[in-house]
Structure formats: C-alpha cells, structure tokens
Amino acid sequence: MDKTLTILLNRGPFISEYADLAVKLALKAREKGHVVNLYCYVDGVWAPHIRSQKPYENVGRLLREALDRGVNVKICARCADARDVSPQDTIEGIPQVGLFDFIDWMKESDKVVTFTG
C-alpha cells in the first residue's frame, strides 16, 4: 500500500522559499510513488495565484507540474476569500474547499509536514 504525505503550506511565494520547497517535496514524494496532498492555507493561497508562465523560476510552474504528476492540491476557501483570491485567479484544477478537507487528509495520512514561518 502506498504511503500518504500531506503538506500544509502556510507561506506565500517570494516571501521565503517555503512555497517552492513544499512543492518540490511534493514532487519528490510523488516520484517515489507516494500519495501526496498539498493544502494551501493562510498566505499559502497566494502560491496557486501565479497562473501564467513567467520568464523566471516560480512556484506556479512547479504547481502545474505537481498537478500533472498527480499531486492533490486544494486551497482554503476562507483564507482565499479573506485575501480576495477567487477561483478564477488561481491555477485551473485547484479547488477552493473548507478546512475539513485538510482534516480528512490529515486523518488519512502517514505523515503531515508543515511549511510555516
């Protein structure tokens, strides 16, 4: 049976490297065959806000790659609403959900890692 890793991202991009590190960890765990969940919470909701391609390294490109490789990504709806981040503002395929989705992920996970600051 595959192990499940859930990652809680509380930091946005460009403030620190936490967003990049969280997604890179998700990609590496997925590469090893693990089920991976990434929940964007508090300022972490800014990570999927980068929708278009940029001429420089950015977490939006990494998130699109993570989605393509089967990483489950969700955004806290209340956190997004508090920051005026609408579903239309984020990468397609990443739903805005309630905190209970994260709690369910935690219960189903073998490990939970947080990236906060």
Query: Residue holding tokens 């595959």?
Result: 2
Give the global pTM. Answer: 0.93
How many residues are present in the chain? Answer: 117
Give 3-state DSSP helix, strand, coil % of the chain, rounded to 5. 45, 20, 35
**pLDDT tens, residue by residue, 22-67:** 999 999 999 999 999 999 999 999 999 866 666 777 788 899 999 9
> Regarding the domain delimited by 4-115, which CATH topology (the fold level of the hierarchy) does it fall under?
Hypothetical Protein Ychn; Chain: A, (3.40.1260)
Q: Are 51 and 85 contacting, i.e. CB atoms less than 8 angstroms apart?
A: no
Q: Domains of the chain: which residue ranges?
A: 4-115
- 36 vs 92: CA distance, rounded Å: 18
